[in-house]
Amino acid sequence: MNDITNVGLNIAEKSTVIWNVADILRGPFKPHEYGLVILPMTIIKRFHDCLLPTHDKVIETYEKCKHLEVVDGFLTRASGYQFYNTSKFTFEKMLADPENIESNFKDYLAGFSSNVQDVLAKFEFDNIIKRMVESNTLYLTVKEFASSKGYLGPDKISAVDCGYIFEDLVRRFSESYGEEAGAHFTSRDIIYLMTDILVSGMNFNGDNITVYDMTMGTSQMLSCMEERIHQIDKETTVTCFGQENNPSTFAIAKADMMIRGGLPDNMRFGDTLSDDKFKDYKFDRIISNPPFGIDWKKEQKAVEAEAKLGENGRFGAGLPKISDGQQLFVLNGISKLADDGKMAIIQNGSPLFSGDAGSGPSNIRKYIIENDWLETIIQLSTDQFMNTGISTYIWVINKNKPSFRSGKVQLIDASHCFEPRRKSIGTKRNDITEMCRQLIVNAYNEFENGVYGDKKSVYCQSKIFDNEEFGYRKITVERPQRDENGEIILKKGKPVADAALRDTENVPLKEDVEEYFKREVLPYAPDAWIDNSKTKIGYEIPMTRYFYEYKKPEKSEEILKRIIALENEINESLRGILTISD
């Protein structure tokens, strides 16, 4: 399988060559606007170079059938793709007539089939063309893309390689625009780990497998899943579905799907939380990296309305804090998993423990764990993403766990399973190499308590727990009110609770509440009692606590030696400075 560390230099070079069109745009366009030209032009050129070998055949077919009411079928068969272009122009022909570059270029764009028109509309490219004409940069831009360096035909650039190019261009655009590049970009090393987890245990019988990404960006997670499945079984049909609410990345995703021969109508535009485009759909596999720590204020009305539907909606299990919508995406994914489906979704640390018993976040964890859907959580190292250095986690949700995993959750600490990059990309300083990925996948597949790799260098650690390990009862401990004489105040023969003395205790689900109360509370407050009507069930997953390893403090003598050595070094430096000044 490909690895991010093995991306060919030609791909990086091709991306750089394309981005160098910015030299032409400098002045009329500001740096953060370069992508508004470069991204759609790259897609147009990719379409152009794919269609070029069948261009004459499409024109000939169009002349024969243009009088018919429905012509799409004839033209897609002639082009060999699910899109076509009926314009007589090519990039080469446009360059031969520089005086009419604007009208000819518009004629060329108008010749595209409607599904391509939909892609270009997301870029609002008409306004960009107008600015290029006014600044005399349209002809120069077309010329640059028409050069041998700008060639993007499938005979030279595969679909996977083109995906890399799109990813890199989006990253550059995001950085120049000041956007969080990671909002659109998940590096391939992480994606390939997720795909290997998702294909583990799958039965391939040449069947159709459906794959869904609810926040697809440029759709590279989907293309990697398709690639991985076909590496295992070429006869299996993979049908991809995705939703995205960023216009430019959606356009790239739909264009990429058309070029790869998939179903472009399965790529849908809209906000996943408030405008679900796949209502009542069920998928075999779900792979996604939703945004971290993003509020859901603009989706609040729609989300809360759906939550009131209970089991008939996606969000009946509970709602997270308005400032962090990650768990809403988890619930969305669960609602769309087939009965034997599996999902890998990236989260930050907050879904592990945020929220007390009875809160929305805790109730969501309760819903997942008590249904026995949580299969594995994999902690990755810090500095794995371009836009954040925080620890991240892959949650693996399985609607149909194998029997040996039933009632169990596997936690894998892979925070030490990485290789440092020679050159960082933003805050991404670490890679999950093929060797690292294999260690993690082996730990996942073997489902045992143990260490994989060398604890002195690169390794991961697996631990298995019962579902109940993560649950607790939050009990309310009451103490009686007393009068000025210290006597307990009664009402209807029962002590009146003193709110000022009220306290709570978290009792593990595995422990008997009464025994806990007798051991931990009554020795210190003999007059206390439990108000069982206030008891709530909560769940949290304290990864750090489970993998904490005590490190013996350094001896005071050794610390003193280091301090003395440091003082001597400082004194020597000061003496040198004073000698020079004298």
Exposed, middle or buried: residue 134 (CB in 10 Å: 0-12, 13-18, 19+)? exposed
Residues near 485 by beta carbon (within 8 Å), at least 6 away in sequence = none
Look at residue 234 and tell me if it is in a domain: yes
The pLDDT value recorded for residue 565 is 85
The answer to whether 421 and 401 are in contact (CB under 8 A) is no
Give, for 335, the enclosing helix (H) or strand (E). Answer: helix 326-336
- Please give the tally of structural domains in the chain: 4
**488 lies in some domain:** yes
Cα distance between residue 535 and residue 479, in whole Å: 16
- Residue 537 lies inside a defined structural domain of this protein: yes
Tell me the C-alpha distance between 466 and 510, whole Å. Answer: 10
For β-strands 536-539 and 503-508, DSSP reports them as unpaired
For residue 489, the 8-state DSSP code is P
Judge whether 184 and 246 are in contact, CB under 8 Å: yes
Model pTM score: 0.87
Are 511 and 581 in a shared domain? no
Q: Same structural domain for residues 187 and 252?
A: yes
User: Are 160 and 241 found together in one domain?
Assistant: no
Residue range of the domain that includes 530: 470-543
In a domain, 508, yes or no: yes
What's the confidence (pLDDT) of residue 579? 65
Q: Nearest to residue 342, comparing CAs of 211, 207, 466, 191? A: 211
- State residue 20's pLDDT score: 85
DSSP per-residue letters across 6-42: G--HHHHHHHHHHHTTHHHHBTTB-GGGHHHHHHHHH
Residue 162: per-residue pLDDT: 84
Are 338 and 274 in a shared domain?
yes
CATH number at residue 278: 3.40.50.150
Crossing angle (nearest 10°) for helices 247-259 and 114-121: 150
Same domain, 331 and 286: yes
Q: Is 269 in contact with 244 (CB distance < 8 Å)? A: yes
pLDDT by 10s per residue, the chain, length 582: 444 334 444 667 778 888 888 889 999 998 888 888 999 999 999 999 999 999 999 999 999 998 998 899 999 999 999 999 999 999 999 999 999 999 999 999 999 999 999 999 998 899 899 999 999 999 999 999 999 888 999 998 887 788 878 877 877 776 665 554 445 468 889 999 999 999 998 887 778 999 999 999 889 899 999 999 999 998 999 999 999 998 988 998 999 888 888 888 899 999 999 999 999 999 999 999 998 878 999 999 999 999 999 999 999 999 999 999 999 999 999 999 999 999 999 999 999 999 999 999 999 999 999 999 999 999 999 888 766 778 899 999 999 999 999 999 999 999 999 998 888 777 788 999 999 999 999 999 999 999 999 988 999 999 999 999 999 999 999 999 999 999 999 999 999 999 999 999 999 999 999 999 999 999 999 999 999 999 999 999 999 999 988 777 777 888 888 888 888 888 877 776 666 655
Cα torsion 172, 174, 176, 179: sign? negative
With respect to residue 89, please indicate whether it lies within any of the assigned structural domains.
yes
548 lies in some domain: no
Strands (E), 391-470: 393-398, 408-413, 419-425, 428-431, 450-453, 459-466
Residues 169 and 95 in one domain: yes
